[in-house]
Structure 1
Amino acid sequence: LINYLNMFNLFSIIFLLNIIIKVHLEKLEDKNSTVYPLSSSKCFHRESFDCPQVENLNNCPCKIIKFSADEINPKIGIYCCNLNSETLISSLECANFSVNVTDIHIRNATIKSFNVSEALWKNLESLAITDGQINNIKGQFNNDTKISCLNLSNNALSKFDNNFIAQMNYLENLDLSFNNITDLPTFSRSLTILDISGMSTIPCLEIKQAIDRDESYTRRLSFRNQNTTVCSAATDWTWFKAAERISIELLLPDISECPKGENWRCKCTFNQLIKITPGYPIFRTINVDCSNNNLTELPKKLPPYTINLVVSHNKIKKIDDIVTNPSYKYLMNFTADYNEISSINILEGSRFVENFDSFSLRFNKLKSIPTHVLIPVTYNASNEVNGNVSLGGNKILCDCYAAKYLKNWFEVNIPDGDEVNCSNSVDRVIDLNVMKMCKFDDESSDYIYCIIAIEVILLITILSKLLFDYWYYKKNRKLPWFSRIMPKTRFDWLFEFYL
C-alpha cells in the first residue's frame, strides 16, 4: 500500500511539473509579444527586429505567434516580413494559416494590387499591413468580415475602391496614416477610431462630413494623433482664398459645451472655418440644433462661435437672449418655427439685426410686425432687411398701417408674406385694400368740409374789408366810420402802412 501511495505521489509531482514547465515555455515563447485586450485601440503589431529569419528560399517568411488577449484565452497570430504579390498566399500557408488564426501583421510587403474581397480575411479580428508598398486596393471586404482593427499605415497607398470598408460591420479601428491618399473611403457606422496622421492632402470638408456623419452621441468618431493631423482647406471651400493646411483639432466641436438639460439635449456640429485676415487666427463655427425638446426658453449658453441656432417645434415665448446673452453674439442664422413667440420688438437696434443672414419665425403667435425692428440702421434709407426673413403662418392685427405700409414691405422683404393672415379678418396681409382699411367716417368728413368752407368765406371777407378801407381812404382821405370807431391796441402799429 505504501509503495502504491509513493507511486501516486510521484506521478502527481511529475504531472504538476509538466504543467509548470509548459506554462513557462509558453511565456518564454511569447515574451516578445505585445499583449492587447480585445477592446484595444491598436491592431496586432510586431517590431521589425522580430521578423522571421530567412536564410534561404526554403525558409518561411512568416511565423506563428501565440499571445494572450486576457491572460485566459490564448490567441494565435501570424507575423510576416518582406512579402510580395506572388508570395503572399503561399507564405501564409507555410505558417499553417487556418481559421484559428485571429491576427495577422505583414511588414514591408510589395503588393501591386491587394484584393480584400478574398474569403481568407473574413475570420480575422485584426489585420495589419504596414511599412511597405501597396499600389492599390482592389474590391471590398465582405459584410461578414469580423475584422475590428485594420492597419494599412505607411504603404504609399493612393488608390482604392471608395467602398472597400463600407460593409465592415465589425470595424472599429482604422489606421491609414502616412500614405498618399487624397480622399477618405466610405466608413461603416461601427467605426469609432481613425488615424490619418502623416498626410496633408485630404480635404477638410471630407473630414468634416466624417465627423458629422453620426447623428447620435453614443458613438462618435475620434482621431488618433489628432494634434499632429492636418487637412487641406482647398480653394473651393468657403472662407478661404488659397489652400491651407489646417489642424483637424479646429474641426472637432467641443460637444461638452453643447446645451443640454435633465430631459433634453441639443445637437452640435461643426460648420466652417473662418479666417478674416491673413494675420487673424482661424476659428471654427458651430451649428446648434435644439428642435423638438419641449423647451420653454432659449438655451442659456451656446458653444463659442455658434452662428446657426435651430429651436423649432418647442414652446418658446421670448427671444430676449438673442440680444442680452453674450454667448449669442456670433449668431447669424436663427430658426424658431412652430413656437409661441408673440413679439420681436426686443431686436430693434441689436447686433443681430445688423448681421443676420436668416431669421425664421414661421407659425408663431406674432400679433404685430413692426417693419423698423428688422431694418438695420445702415439700411434705414432703403427700408430693406439685411437677410432672409420668414414669417409665414402668423396671424397679426390688420389695420390701416398694415394696409398702407406692411403690405408693400412684405412684397419686398418677406418671401412667404403671402402666408401671413389677419387675426381680425379672413384676409391675407398682401390682399388688404388701403381704401377699405383707411376709410374715414362720412359724418366726420362733412364737418371738415364745412369748416374749410367757413374759413375760406372769412378770409374773403377780411380781404374785401381791407380793400374797401383802402379805396375809401384814397377817395376821402379818411377811414370809413366803422374803422374809425374800432378801439386802438398797442399792436396796431404792426399793421399800419403809409400811403
Structure 2
Amino acid sequence: MLLRVFKTFLLLSLAQAATTGVTLRNHNKTDGFDGPCLLSEYTNRASCTLYNEVLLCARGFTSNWLTKARYHLISHLKILEWPGYCVNVGHLQSHFPYLRTLDIINSTILKIFKGNFDSSSKIEKITMHDLTSLWEVPASLVENMRHLQVLDLRNNSLRHMKENLIRGPPVLETVYLANNNWDCSDGGLDWLAIENENGTVRNKLADYYQLMCHQQLYRGKPLYKVMDIIRTVKQTCPEMCVCAMTHVVSDAKGTLIPLITANCTEKDLEHPPASLPPSTTTLRLEGNKLTSIGELVQNPQYQTLMDLYLDNNSIQSVKEWEGSEWFSTFRVLSLRGNLLKQIPVYAFDKAFQGNNNIMHVFLGHNPWRCDCHFIPRFQGLLLKYKRVIRDLMDIRCARSDDKTISYVQISTMALGDVCRNSDVNMPISTINIVNLVLLMLILIVVGRFVYDWHKFRATGKLPWISSILP
C-alpha cells in the first residue's frame, strides 16, 4: 500500500512539474514514455458513475471497473480530469472493448498516449477537449480504427498533426480542429498546403476556415490563407532553389503579405533564376558562377527583393546598378568574395544617401584596386557609411608587390601610401580642362571691369568699349 501511494505521489509530482515549465524532449510521442502507464495507477481519488450505458470516471478509474467483467454494459466512456500525463489506449480498449464513443475531457496534465487502438476497436466517435498539455495526437493512435467516423479535437493545445491522422481511418468522415495552437510552418501543418481544395482531407475538416496559426511566424493569421501562400510558393519556386515563407504580415486592409526567401546557393548557376515566387524578398545566390548583375537589374521580378546575397561568385562589375530604382530601396546587399576591383563610388554614395531601408552592406574579400585615383573616394565612402558597411576589416587592397599596400585595410590606410611621388600627378580629365579655361576667362573679365571702374572714377572717361556702342 505504501509503495502504491509513493508511486502515485511521484507520478503526480512529475505531472505537476510538466505543467509548470518542464518540457519533455519527446513531447506527445507514444514512444517518449518508458513507464508502465497503467490505468490502475489512479484509483485512490477516482470516482465512476454509470447511467444508461454511459460510464463517467473522474480522476482515474475505480478498481471495481478494472477488475470486474462488466464492460459489455458500456458503450460510452467519459474520462474527466485524468490525473496522469499518460493514457494507455491499448489497455483502455481491452477493458472496454464495446465502446462506441470515447470522451477525454479537461485533462490538463495529459500529454502522452501509449499504444494505439487496433482494427478490432468499435469506437465511432472520439472527443478530446481541454487537454492543454497535449501538443500532438499521433496518427498511429487511430489510423487502424475501422469504425471511427468522427474525431473532435477542439479546444486543446495541439501544434502538429500528421496527414495519416485524417487519411488513415477508412470511414472517418468529420474532423474538428478549431481552437488549438497550430504550427503552420514546416513540420506542423504545412502538408495541408499541397492538398487540393476539394481533396479527401480538406473535405473531412469541418472547421478548416476557422483554424488559426499560433506559432510566432504566423501568429493570429488564418491557417487557410497561410496554406494558400505556402502552396503558391511550392508551385512557383525555381527547381534549383529551396523556397520558404519566413514571415507574413498584414496590410491596413487585412490582406496577408508573405515574406519569401529563395535559397539558390551553391548550384553552379551561371545565370540567376528567370522567375521567383510572388513577394520574394530575400534571394540567396552565394557560391555560384555568376559573372554579371545585368539580368538582376533587367528582370522586373527582382525589383521586389529587399535582401540580396551574391557572395563567392565571379562578379567583376556592378556599374549596372547606377541609376537603378532597386539600388535606392534595398535592405541588405552582400558582394563578398567576388572579383570586384572598383565600384562607381558616386553612384553608391547617391543610392545609400537616399535609401531609407538600407541596413547592411558587405564588400569584403574582393581584390580592390589601390591607387590614388580610386582609394581616396572609396575610403571616404567606407568611412561615411561605416555603420552600414559591416565588414570594413575585410575590405582590403589586392595582393601587390608593394608591401605597403598589399592586403592593407582600406578604411584605415594612410592615403600617403597610395598617393605619393608620381601618383600625385593624377591625369586631368577633359571636363577639368574646360572648367579651368572658363575660370581664367571669368578672372579676365572681372579684372578688366575693376580696371575700367577705377579709371572712370579718376578721369571720368568711359571705357573704350562703351564709346563705340550705339
TM-score scaled by length of structure 1: 0.54
Give the structure 2 partner of residue 18 of structure 1.
none
Is the aligned partner of 1:275 residue 2:250? Answer: yes
2:362 alignment counterpart: 390
**Structure 2 portions without partners, runs of 5+:** 1-49, 167-173, 195-199, 401-405, 427-439
Deviations, residues 29-57 of structure 1 (Å, cap 9, x unaligned): xxxxxxxxxxxxxxxxxxxxxxxxxxxx8
Structure 2 counterparts to residues 42-441 of structure 1, below 5 A: 84=57, 85-86=60-61, 90=66, 109-113=78-82, 116=86, 118=88, 120=90, 132-136=103-107, 138-141=110-113, 154-162=127-135, 178-182=153-157, 184=159, 191-193=162-164, 198=176, 201-202=179-180, 206-208=183-185, 210-211=187-188, 224=202, 228-232=208-212, 245=222, 247=224, 248-250=226-228, 252-254=230-232, 255-260=234-239, 265-278=240-253, 281-374=255-348, 379-380=353-354, 386-411=358-383, 412=386, 413-423=388-398, 425=400, 426=406, 427-439=408-420, 441=422
Moved more, 421-430 or 150-159: 150-159
Give SS of 1:393's match. coil
The structure-2 alpha-carbon separation of the partners of 1:245 and 1:443, relative to structure 1 and needing over 3 Å to count, comes to: closer
**Which structure's relative contact order is higher, taking Cα pairs within 8 Å and 6+ residues apart?**
2
The 1:296/1:285 distance shift into structure 2, 3 A limit, reads same
Which of 1 and 2 has greater Rg? 1
Could you say what the CA RMSD is over the residues aligned between the two structures, in angstroms? 5.3
1:405-462 CA-to-partner distances (Å, cap 9, x unmatched) read: 22232232311021022225312222332233233539979xxxxxxxxx9xxx9xx9
* Residues 330-389 of structure 1 deviation map (CA, whole Å, 9 limit, x = unaligned): 211112222222222222233432332211122122222333444565834xx9982311
- CA distance in 2: counterparts of 1:424 and 1:251, whole angstroms: 49
Give the SS at the match of 1:288: strand
* In 2, Cα distance between equivalents of 1:233 and 1:140: 23
Q: 2:190, 2:227 within 8 Å by CA — same for their partners in 1?
A: no
Is the Cα–Cα contact under 8 Å of residues 109 and 129 in structure 1 kept in the other structure?
A: no
Cross-structure match for 1:36? none
Which range moves more in the overlay, 110-119 or 353-362? 110-119
Contact 2:136-2:158 within 8 A present in 1 as well: no
In the other structure, the counterpart of 1:12 is none
Shift of residue 157, structure 1, vs aligned partner: 2.8
Q: Secondary structure at the match of 2:268?
A: coil
1:323 and 1:351 in contact (8 A); partners too: no
Q: Go from structure 1 to structure 2 and tell me whether the alpha carbon gap of 1:432 and 1:277 turns closer, same or farther (over 3 Å shift).
A: same
- Go from structure 1 to structure 2 and tell me whether the alpha carbon gap of 1:410 and 1:316 turns closer, same or farther (over 3 Å shift): same
Q: Determine the C-alpha separation between the residues in 2 that align with 1:376 and 1:176.
A: 62
- Please report how far the alpha carbon of residue 83 of structure 1 lies from its aligned counterpart in structure 2 after TM superposition: 5.8
The verdict on how the C-alpha distance between 1:496 and 1:155 changes in structure 2, with shifts beyond 3 A counting, is same
Assess if the C-alpha contact under 8 Å between 2:133 and 2:157 holds in 1: no
Structure 1 residues 304 and 239: alpha-carbon distance in aligned structure 2, compared to 1, 3 A threshold:
same
For residue 332 of structure 2, what is the amino acid of its counterpart? S
**1-side partners of 2:125 and 2:350: how far apart?**
55
Q: Which amino acid aligns with 2:128?
A: N
Measure, in 2, the Cα distance between the counterparts of 1:442 and 1:332: 40
| One-letter amino acid of the counterpart of residue 379, structure 1 | Q
Provide the C-alpha distance between the structure 1 equivalents of 2:312 and 2:208, rounded to a whole number of angstroms: 44
Change beyond 3 A, Cα 1:132–1:298 = same
- Amino acid across the alignment from 1:417: L
- Distance in 2, Cα, partners of 1:109 & 1:201: 21
Cα drift, residue 244 of structure 1: 5.7
Aligned to 2:379, the other structure's residue is in SS state helix
Residues 242-292 of structure 1, C-alpha deviations (whole Å, 9 max, x = no match): x564534345243122211xxxx32121222232222x6223232211222
Partner amino acid, structure 2, of 1:258: C
Count the aligned residue pairs: 352
- Aligned-pair CA distance for 1:319: 2.8
Matches within 5 A, 1:472-487: none
What are the Cα deviations for residues 141-173 of structure 1, in whole angstroms up to 9, with x where unaligned? 45x87989999964323322547859x799899
What do residues 78-117 of structure 1 show as CA deviations (whole Å, max 9, x unaligned)?
xxx7564538974997679xxxxxxxx9866333217645
Report the secondary structure of 2:343's partner residue. Answer: coil
Tell me by how many angstroms 1:224 deviates: 4.2
TM-score of the aligned structures, taking structure 2 as reference length: 0.57
**Identity percentage of aligned residues:** 20
In structure 2, what is the Cα distance between the partners aligned to 1:366 and 1:429? 14
Letter in 2 for 1:110: I
More strand by share: 1
Alpha-carbon distance between aligned partners in 1 of 2:218 and 2:422, rounded to the nearest angstrom: 59
Gaps of 5+ in 1: 1-56, 62-80, 97-104, 446-454, 475-491
Amino acid in structure 1 at the alignment position of 2:244 = T
